[in-house]
Structure 1
Amino acid sequence: MKLTIIGGGSTYTPELVDGLARLRAALPVTELVLVDPDENRLAPVGAMSRRMLARAGHPARLVTTTDTTTGVTGADAVVIQLRVGGQAARRIDETLPLACGCVGQETTGAGGLAKALRTVPVVLDLAQTIAEHAPDAWIVDFTNPVGIVTRALLDAGHRAVGLCNVAIHVQRRIAALLDVPPNAVELGHAGLNHLTWVRSAHVNGTDRLPELLDRHLPALADISGLTGDLLHHLRTLPSYYLSYYYEHDRIVDRQRLTTPRAEQVADVERELLALYADPANDTRPPQLSQRGGAFYSEAAVHLLAALLGTPDATGGPDAQVPGVQVANVRNNGTFPFLPDRAVVEVPARITSKGPLPLPVPPLEPLYAGLVAHVSAYEELALDAALHGGVERVRTALLAHPLIGQDGPADRLATDLVAANRAHLPWAAR
């Protein structure tokens, strides 16, 4: 089994390699290929990954390359985890919107749109190469904004599934609070990528979320980044990305006084790359937890194993791989108020033929309204990413509930395009 990681020079990669080593029975990879155009990152990450596999006694052959065609040819699956423009572009995404009084965040709002503009064309070019040289490969997209990128891949006809670590992170935290195994917790997780609510947490057929809200409110507030009072009022557990909507002004005030996350991550990445370059290191460093992406490796291995139909991906009681996983998939009637072609983040049965979203209880109006609003924005954001034009960018910004006013939308459209000109071929014309 050949698995290719595009963006293999990411400091995330050893997290994934650690999961591949620990869960080798679920996903018996024989060749792991790391593809990245940046040799300065690829070399230390590749060396570290090779040492980690050797320490674990994993038989997979590890290959590094800067050539995408070489890397994907004959692959069974390809994971895309890239960041166009690096942390420098992320810093602009996080800071430029603040000048207009809007949240500065790399995956939602104006920053998320800027990232989509840079990312979608690159991912589609990569996917075309995959289609030509590995036509049967599954593409797993971990690249943000996952919902928009996954929609772009599916609209272009690729075999793709979007993956986010938020659901598995919440599942693990809830399992710890309830003192049960993680796979015993079935989350009623529903919404869009980075716009989800957990409305139930079933263990052996019993919804334990009401108990959690009554007995563990401070811990749930820590998970969500929202106040216990709001959680008690909602009686749900929103994703921490909902704080950008429910507490917009407080977040903006805080962001103006703190170091941008991009700078913090850049510091962590420099430290990690130095550790990876040390030939004595062969164990996942604790600093990797500061990078984000908790439980990414488990989520990725489980999804890949189910898509590739490995023997332990049966979904039975003794299987290492859960039969139902949260993924980013076509709506196809899951939410009746959205187009079927929209991409939603819900529990799905993952099979070798693709993901099958499970029925979701109707969303309450408070949540359905916001989902419809953001889904409409995502459609306009994808149009801007595919076809370019400052006016399309302005329209998408007008549609986003975190912007939605003409003054900020007009100014941000001009400023975002100017700041990202080097990554937008249409803007240079």
Structure 2
Amino acid sequence: MKLTVIGGGSTYTPELVDGFARLRALLPLTELCLVDPSDSRRELVAGVSRRMFARYGYDVRVTATSDVVAGVSDASVVLFQLRVGGQAARHTDETFPHACGCLGQETTGPGGFAKALRTVPVVLSLAELVRRHARPDAWLVDFTNPVGIVTRALLQEGHRAVGLCNVAIGFQRRFASMLTVDPSAVALDHVGLNHLTWVRGVTVDGVDRLPGLLASRLTELADEVELPRSALSLLGCVPSYYLRYYYAHDEVLAEQTAPGAVSRAQAVTDVEDELLALYADPTVDTKPEALTRRGGAFYSEAAVDLLASLTADRGDVQVVNVRNDGTLPFLPDDHVIEVPATIGATGITPLPVAPLADDLAGLVGHVAAYERLALDAAVHGGRDRVTRALLAHPLVGQHATAVALTDALLAANRDHLAWAR
């Protein structure tokens, strides 16, 4: 099977390769094609990928190209993990909202919206090439943020697509460690939108262990998601760490704007420089320890599990970003939600979920409305669409702020938005 990674020059890629090699029985590959416009990054990552496969004794042909058509031709799966504008654009996303009194983040709030505006048109253009040149039954797997919006854009255009995030598998592994059980024994009641989810249940052998964990490990869980113990007690569940941007907005903003604060983009750039230097070393043939500081923990396990089920029709349950289709009755069917779903070669079906509490449902509905406006702006452009989407976001919500953010966003992203020049 040929698998193509668009954005294959990412420093994440060796994390994927490590998973492909370790879990080869789940996902037999014959070719891994890395597509990336950067000659230097593409070749460095291809080189270390070849050495890693060789170390594992796994005979996979690693190819690398800047030609998207050549890269996706005859592929069975195409994985998107691209970043339009690189870390420089991410730094802008994480800082331009500060002048308007809003936090900066690459997937949430005004910064996440800026990323969606840059990313959606590029991904849709690439997906059309996949439609024309990959295998007719090829799957598109989106790991590109904001995953929910990008995945909905792909599904809206009729692509065979699913979105993937590592938050749920991270929680699954963490709870398994706390309970000293194998991760495969843990089933999560994980529900919401991408980067706006809550774990409401942790089931092992038919028993929900979450109430006990909230009683015995409350401090540990609260510290992990950087929220007060009282917040988790009040909710009776564990919010993902992205909920901190909503539940502790002012605290996060104060941290981001404190003297000497460094954006995540700046920190990641330093890690990437270190990783690329390691990838250039011909003796490096394993995943470097420094990759743990890059983020994306358990990304490879999540990707391999998903890809194996899509291609081998395992029919197991995984948490993915998928069409709502009535799962959350207060959202349109075509909205994309992040929930457990049955994964098979013929399709993906979300499992039924218990109704959300009113406070959770209200926030999901609010952010989902913003996401629909954001996708409309990303596809069609237009200053008014940008302002309206910002006004709809619960982290903005004031007209004057939305107008000022529009000015700042368009000024920072004009090179990436043809309609805004």
Q: Report the TM-score range of the alignment, normalised by the length of the smaller protein.
A: over 0.9
Does the CA contact (< 8 Å) of 1:170 and 1:223 recur in 2?
A: no
Residue in 2 aligned with 1:192?
A: 193
- Which ranges of structure 2 fall in alignment gaps of 5 or more residues? none
Residue in 1 aligned with 2:50?
A: 50
Cα deviation code 1:190-223 (max 9, x no counterpart): 0000000000000000000001001111221132
Cα distance in structure 2, aligned partners of 1:238 and 1:111: 21
- Secondary structure at 1:340 match in 2: coil
Residue in 1 aligned with 2:162?
A: 161
After TM superposition, the runs of 4+ consecutive aligned structure 1 residues lying more than 6 A away are none
Residues 234-383 of structure 1: pairs in structure 2 closer than 5 A: 234-257=235-258, 258-309=261-312, 314=314, 323-383=316-376
After TM superposition, give the deviation of residue 314 of structure 1 in Å.
Answer: 2.9
- Secondary structure at 1:279 match in 2: coil
- Secondary structure at 1:337 match in 2: coil
- Secondary structure at 1:4 match in 2: strand
Cα distance in structure 2, aligned partners of 1:404 and 1:353: 41
Cα deviation code 1:37-96 (max 9, x no counterpart): 001111111101110000000111110111000000000000000000000000000001
Query: 1:138 and 2:131 equivalent?
Result: no
Residue in 2 aligned with 1:40?
A: 40
Residues 93-108 of structure 1: pairs in structure 2 closer than 5 A: 93-108=93-108
User: What amino acid is aligned across from residue 239 of structure 2 in structure 1?
Assistant: P
Cα distance in structure 2, aligned partners of 1:82 and 1:8: 8
Does the CA contact (< 8 Å) of 2:153 and 2:375 recur in 1?
A: yes
**What fraction of aligned residue pairs are identical, expressed as a percent?**
64
User: What amino acid is aligned across from residue 136 of structure 1 in structure 2?
Assistant: D
Query: 1:401 and 2:394 equivalent?
Result: yes
Cα distance in structure 1, aligned partners of 2:330 and 2:394: 18
Residue in 1 aligned with 2:119?
A: 119
Query: 1:20 and 2:20 equivalent?
Result: yes
Cα distance in structure 2, aligned partners of 1:166 and 1:223: 12
Residue in 2 aligned with 1:148?
A: 149
TM-score when normalising by structure 1: 0.97
Cα distance in structure 2, aligned partners of 1:222 and 1:138: 37
User: What amino acid is aligned across from residue 360 of structure 2 in structure 1?
Assistant: Y
User: What amino acid is aligned across from residue 414 of structure 2 in structure 1?
Assistant: R
Q: 133-142 vs 117-126, which deviates more?
A: 133-142
Residue in 2 aligned with 1:320?
A: none
Residues 67-86 of structure 1: pairs in structure 2 closer than 5 A: 67-86=67-86
User: What amino acid is aligned across from residue 242 of structure 1 in structure 2?
Assistant: L
Query: 1:387 and 2:380 equivalent?
Result: yes
Cα deviation code 1:332-367 (max 9, x no counterpart): 000000000100000000010111000000001010
Number of aligned residue pairs: 418
After TM superposition, give the deviation of residue 383 of structure 1 in Å.
Answer: 0.4
Does the CA contact (< 8 Å) of 2:314 and 2:344 recur in 1?
A: no
Does the CA contact (< 8 Å) of 1:2 and 1:30 recur in 2?
A: yes
Cα distance in structure 2, aligned partners of 1:75 and 1:152: 21
Cα distance in structure 1, aligned partners of 2:166 and 2:21: 19
Cα distance in structure 2, aligned partners of 1:86 and 1:180: 39
Does the CA contact (< 8 Å) of 1:381 and 1:393 recur in 2?
A: yes
User: What amino acid is aligned across from residue 180 of structure 1 in structure 2?
Assistant: V
User: What amino acid is aligned across from residue 284 of structure 2 in structure 1?
Assistant: N
Cα deviation code 1:100-142 (max 9, x no counterpart): 1111000010000000000000000000000000132100000
Does the CA contact (< 8 Å) of 1:164 and 1:327 recur in 2?
A: yes
The Cα RMSD (Å) is 0.7
After TM superposition, give the deviation of residue 418 of structure 1 in Å.
Answer: 1.3
